[in-house]
């Protein structure tokens, strides 16, 4: 039996416990998920470097999964454009059953390796791309089919699972990340600890990659896409924090910069017009630190 399907001795008779006692069990088990991810730090760092190499060569990052794993991949991918102004195609999530599976279960799709392979073919992967298969149990056929197809075209393949890596996958997988979280509070409910561990790993894969691509200055999201009132206000605060100008000056510079906080910062600190400021950014590959320091 897979560890993800086993019964957890620490949650035995959970249905007889008080609400407060159950909450405490969750706290204790969630700490195990964090510790399991920390134990994979070296593997995560290596995976990030592979993603950075792919992005720098014009490659893309794909997540592929079913159920909770697929939803978490789509979630992480969908957050990249508003947070870092990345093109929509740069990081993509693929879920068994398609977008409809984001809201409700699509029975049987995760059992079809040919569907995973077909989804990869539709994206026309190249050797510059990276694909991360996500499967808590380490055995989802849809994910394995996708990884085989990606391997066949020479893409970098990774596998994120919460069990020891299956030996048969080593033929098609370049790199493994395996946070071993142990049995779930409710046996088999991998949306719990396994889902938490998966989200923590995905947070790091994209966020650290974007930091290393120059999309963060200090700890500020200077490449934020100001697409709503909240993000416009955040952009103003970011420009103020870096340049020291008042809110009105930051807002005016942002308007002239077409809403691009990073561009507005260069304009204000270097006294440049938008065209020259953009040329300076391009010269430094978008790294604000190299311009300001």
* Tokens describing residue 215: 């999309």
pLDDT tens digits for range 187-222: 999 999 999 999 999 999 999 999 999 999 999 999
pLDDT of 104 = 85
Q: Are the beta carbons of 67 and 105 closer than 8 angstroms? A: yes
Q: Are residues 240 and 123 in the same domain?
A: no
Provide the domain count of the chain.
Answer: 2
Residue 111 CB contacts under 8 Å (≥ 6 apart), including other chains: 141, 142
pLDDT of 89 = 97
Segments of the chain with pLDDT less than 70: 1
- Tell how strand 156-160 and strand 91-95 pair up: unpaired
Q: Are residues 142 and 201 in the same domain?
A: yes
Cα angle 32, 38, 39; round to 5:
90
Handedness of CA 49, 55, 60, 61 (dihedral sign): positive
| pTM (2 d.p.) | 0.93
Is residue 222 included in any domain, yes or no?
A: no
d(CA 6, CA 11): 12
Q: For residue 245, give its domain range.
A: 229-292
Q: Are the beta carbons of 239 and 253 closer than 8 angstroms? A: yes
pLDDT of 1 = 64
* Tokens describing residue 259: 């809403």
Is residue 97 included in any domain, yes or no?
A: yes
Tell me, what CATH number does 267's domain have? Answer: 1.10.8.1080
pLDDT of 50 = 98
Give the active site residues.
Answer: 79, 110
């Amino acid at each position: 039996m897979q560890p993800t399907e086993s019964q957890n001795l620490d949650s035995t008779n959970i249905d007889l416990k008080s609400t407060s006692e159950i909450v405490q069990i969750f706290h204790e088990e969630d700490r195990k998920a964090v510790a399991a991810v920390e134990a994979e730090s070296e593997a995560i760092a290596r995976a990030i470097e592979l993603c950075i190499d792919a992005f720098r060569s014009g490659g893309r990052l794909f997540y592929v999964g079913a159920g909770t794993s697929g939803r978490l991949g789509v979630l992480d991918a969908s957050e990249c454009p508003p947070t870092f102004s990345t093109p929509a195609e740069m990081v993509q999530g693929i879920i068994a059953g398609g977008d409809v599976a984001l809201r409700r279960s699509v029975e049987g799709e995760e059992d079809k390796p040919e569907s995973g392979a077909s989804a990869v073919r539709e994206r026309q992967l190249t050797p510059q791309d990276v694909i991360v298969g996500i499967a808590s149990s380490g055995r989802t056929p849809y994910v394995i089919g996708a990884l085989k197809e990606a391997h066949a075209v020479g893409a970098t393949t990774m596998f994120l699972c919460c069990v020891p890596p299956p030996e048969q996958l080593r033929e098609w997988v370049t790199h493994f990340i395996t946070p071993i979280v142990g049995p779930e509070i409710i046996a088999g409910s991998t949306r719990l600890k396994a889902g938490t561990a998966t989200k923590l790993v995905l947070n790091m894969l994209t966020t650290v990659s974007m930091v290393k691509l120059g999309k963060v200055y200090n700890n500020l999201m200077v490449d934020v896409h100001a697409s709503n009132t909240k993000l416009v206000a955040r952009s103003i605060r970011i420009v103020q924090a870096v340049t020291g100008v008042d809110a009105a000056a930051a807002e005016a510079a942002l308007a002239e910069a077409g809403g691009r906080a990073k561009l507005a910062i260069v304009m204000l600190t270097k006294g440049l017009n938008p065209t020259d400021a953009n040329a300076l950014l391009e010269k430094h590959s978008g790294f604000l630190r190299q311009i300001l320091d």
